[in-house]
Amino acid sequence: MSLDASYAACRALNAQHGRTYFLATRLLPAASRRSVHALYAFARVADDLVDVHHRSLDELWEHPVVPAFRDTVERHQIPWEHVEAFLASMQQDLHVSSYATWEDLLGYTYGSAAVIGLMLLPVLGTVVDADLAAPYAADLGNAFQLTNFLRDVGEDLDRGRLYLPLEDLDAFGVSRADLESRVRDDRVRALLRFEIARARGLYSSAAQGIRLLDPAARPCVETAHTLYGGILDEIERADFPVLTRRVAVGTARRLRVAVPALLSAGRAS
C-alpha cells in the first residue's frame, strides 16, 4: 500500500468512528491534520483488536494504517517509548478487568490516553518548550479517556471490564454486581456525579495548556475540549443512563460549536 493510500485509510477510519475528533481536525492545517488522523487510526485499530476481536496485537502491524502511523512518528520525532506505553495498556485489557484505586487506573490511562496527548504535541506544535505543555496534554488525554469510561460503563461491563475505581464504588456503597444488574439508584447517581466532577477537573487543568499550543492548533483542541466535555453534560441531562445506552453530543450542538470555529479558521488562513 502506498503512503498516500495509508493516510487515506486513516482519514476514512477517523471519519467513520470518531465524529467529534474528526470534526475538530477540520480546523487544523492539512499537513498536521493527516498526522492526527494517523495517530487516531492506529489507536483505534489497536483498541478494536483487543476490545472487539479479542485478537493479538501482533496483527496490528499488518494493518493498512501502519505505514501512515510510522511516517507520522518518524517525521515528528515522536518518542517510541510513547508507542510502547500505549501498546502495553492495550495488552493490559486482555487480562485486567478492574482497577482497585484511582492511582491504579491512572497507571493504565497513562498508556491508553495520556501518551496520546504527548504524541500529539510535536504534531500540533507549541509556543513554549514541549516539556512545559506535556502535563496539560496528558491531562486532556486522561479527561477524554475518563469521559469514554463514563459514557461506556454498560458496554465495558458487557466485555467483562469496569474502569471505575473499586475504591470509589465502595465509598458510595455500590457493588460491581449492582452495576452489572443495571441498578440506577441514588447511590449510582452519586458515584457517577463524583467521577464526572473528577473528569471536569482534568478538563479544567488541560484548558490552561491550550494557550501553550501553536496558534494554528488551538481552535482544534478547544473544539475537541468543548465537545467531548459536553458528553458529561449530556450524561447528567439524561439522568445517568450509561448502564443501558451510550450518550452522545447531538449534531446540532456539534455544529453550533464547530461551525463558528471553522469560519474563523477559514478567515485566518
Per-residue pLDDT of the chain (269 residues; tens, 9 = 90+): 799 999 999 999 999 888 788 888 989 998 899 999 999 999 999 999 998 777 889 899 999 999 999 999 999 999 999 999 999 999 999 899 999 999 999 999 999 999 999 999 999 999 999 999 999 999 999 999 999 999 999 999 999 999 999 999 999 999 999 999 999 999 999 999 999 999 999 999 999 999 999 999 999 999 999 999 999 999 999 999 999 999 988 766 666 765 565 555 554 44
pTM of model > 0.75: yes
Residue 106 and residue 128: Cα distance in Å, rounded?
A: 26
What does R_g of the chain's alpha carbons equal in angstroms? 18
Q: So what's the architecture of 80-268 in CATH?
A: Orthogonal Bundle (1.10)
- Which own/partner contact pairs does 152-158 have at CB distance under 8 Å and 24+ positions apart? 152/242, 152/246, 153/179, 153/242, 153/243, 154/182, 154/242, 154/243, 154/244, 154/245, 154/246, 155/246, 157/243
What residues are paired with 22 via a beta bridge?
A: none
Residue 237 is placed in which grid cell?
441531562
CA distances from 16 to 11, 20, 63, 197, 267 (A): 9, 10, 17, 30, 28
Tell me 183's DSSP state.
-
Closest C-alpha to 116, from 157, 149, 72, 156: 72
- Is the distance from CB of 120 to CB of 214 less than 8 angstroms? no
- φ/ψ (deg, to 5) at 159: -90, 5
